[in-house]
């Protein structure tokens, strides 16, 4: 059985969530124990889990290149921030696609490293392009990369 605290703590560096937890080898009501006995030794322990903010699920890739396109057409993408981890040789590239035609409206510079809120820099301008029918966002992962989340606005 495992119990967790109700409020994770943001570490001083702002890059990790910390969550204290307590566990034991028997059930809460003293029933079945992992070792098959009845409350002989509950073996309690306390631990600290360290998690990446907004990084519990990812789109992962290792190898050549793969991508994903959002299904929602946005009217504009004034700013885009990405939470990702790219190992050496890996990168994330973002393309804004015209929602009506699928044509590339704006491409980003490759993002490398391990960032929680990397601001996407567009080739040829500071703001993402807008198509008459809106835009979709395409993420292309190259190498060993995990894309956790993105934020538009």
End-to-end CA distance of the chain: 42
Q: Is the same domain home to 37 and 68?
A: no
Number of structural domains the chain divides into: 2
Identify which of 110, 129, 126, 130 has the alpha carbon closest to the alpha carbon of residue 118.
110
Domain assignment of residue 13, given as a range: 2-51
**Range scoring the smallest mean pLDDT among 61-75, 115-129, 131-145:** 61-75
What is the dihedral sign for C-alpha 70, 86, 57, 127?
negative
Q: Is the same domain home to 28 and 63?
A: no
Across the chain, what does the average pLDDT equal? 79
pLDDT of residue 11 exceeding 90, the answer is no
Q: Which two tokens stand for residue 49?
A: 């889990």
Q: Is the same domain home to 122 and 75?
A: yes
Q: Is the same domain home to 130 and 68?
A: yes
CATH number at residue 115: 2.60.120.260
Query: Per-residue pLDDT tens for 51-99?
Result: 777 766 677 766 666 777 877 777 777 789 999 999 999 999 999 888 8
Q: Is the same domain home to 15 and 65?
A: no
Q: Is the same domain home to 33 and 90?
A: no
């Amino acid at each position: 059985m495992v119990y967790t605290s109700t409020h994770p703590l943001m570490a001083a560096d702002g890059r990790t969530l910390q969550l204290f937890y307590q566990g034991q080898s028997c059930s809460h009501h003293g029933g079945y124990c992992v070792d098959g006995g009845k409350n002989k030794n509950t073996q309690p322990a306390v631990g600290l889990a360290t998690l990446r903010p907004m990084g519990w699920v990812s789109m992962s890739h290792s190898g050549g290149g793969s991508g994903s396109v959002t299904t929602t057409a946005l009217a504009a993408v004034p700013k885009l921030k990405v939470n990702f981890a790219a190992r050496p040789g890996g990168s994330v590239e973002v393309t804004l696609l015209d929602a009506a035609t699928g044509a590339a409206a704006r491409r980003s510079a490759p993002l490398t490293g391990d960032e929680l809120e990397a601001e996407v820099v567009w080739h040829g301008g500071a703001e993402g392009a807008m198509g008459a029918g809106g835009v979709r966002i395409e993420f292309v992962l190259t190498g060993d990369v995990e894309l956790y989340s993105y934020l538009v606005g």
